[in-house]
Amino acid sequence: MYSLLKLVIRIVFYILETNLANTLLQLYNTMELLFQIIAAIGSIATFGAFVMLFRKDKDKQAQITKLSIIAATLENQAESLNKQNDLLAQQVDIFRNTSILKEQNQVALEKLRDIEEQKIKLSVKPNIWTNGGMEKGYQNELQIDISNKGEVANLLEFRLISDDLTLHNLHLPYELEKGKGRYIFAKGKSNKAIKNCEYQIDVIYEDSLKNRYCSTFIGKGAIAKITETKEIEK
């Protein structure tokens, strides 16, 4: 053990007396730099993975949005078919319980005509809805997402009621196809944060047969919902 200790001491003194000490110091500095580079590469890789994860999440969100629109469109089609089937059942009931052709029953004829008009309207009726909006606080802007899960809608007018917002980039008239969506763009006109801005928007549109409708949205910031849709006069 004593001999080994003496050997170690002699080696240490030899290193101190020669340029080997400088060589070891340079080697240490090089290794330290190498470890810093490896750490930096690791950080870059981590950042890259984060970016890729964000992109994947963004792609997933886009897919989820598309699937939501498709699901809503199919749901609307099923609902429309149920309503048309109900109207058809009413027509069949009228035919069974009245002698329309023989007696020219005017009341029954009027009912049949009214039902037929309702069926035609249902077959071309749009169905405007919303999933809310997106706040861009740094731009003082709000983007409200509207979609159409019914038949083609010709958007004619956006009527805004708000002390906090003003509309811009209207892009009207605009043909909103079945299963498609677009944004309504609004900017803040006060110092109030976008998330606290309240509003009502009436979306005026027509179907392919020129029947006119109004869908009313109310919201606060990115949270919006549709309250009613009604047919209106031109």
Please name the residue that has the structure tokens 């009604």.
Answer: 230
Confidence of residue 8 (pLDDT cuts 50, 70, 90): very low
Beta-carbon count within 10 A of 95 CB: 13
What does the pLDDT read at residue 157?
97
Q: What is the CATH number of domain 128-232?
A: 2.60.270
Beta-carbon count within 10 A of 41 CB: 10
Of 38-47, 66-75, 225-234, minimum mean pLDDT range: 38-47
What does the pLDDT read at residue 24?
47
Prediction pTM value: 0.62
Give me the amino acid identity at 193: A
- Average confidence score pLDDT of the chain: 76
Q: Is the pLDDT confidence value at 219 over 50?
A: yes
The total number of residues shown for the chain amounts to 234
Q: Tell me: the pLDDT tens digits for 15-66?
A: 445 554 455 455 455 555 555 554 554 544 555 555 555 555 555 555 555 5
Q: Is the pLDDT confidence value at 230 over 70?
A: yes
Domain boundaries along the sequence of the chain: 1-124, 128-232
Highest mean pLDDT among 8-17, 59-68, 86-95, 171-180: 171-180
Question: CA-based angle 101:103:107, to the nearest 5?
Answer: 90
What's the CA gap between 91 and 96, in Å, rounded? 9
**Hey, which residues does 143 pair with through a beta bridge?**
134, 185
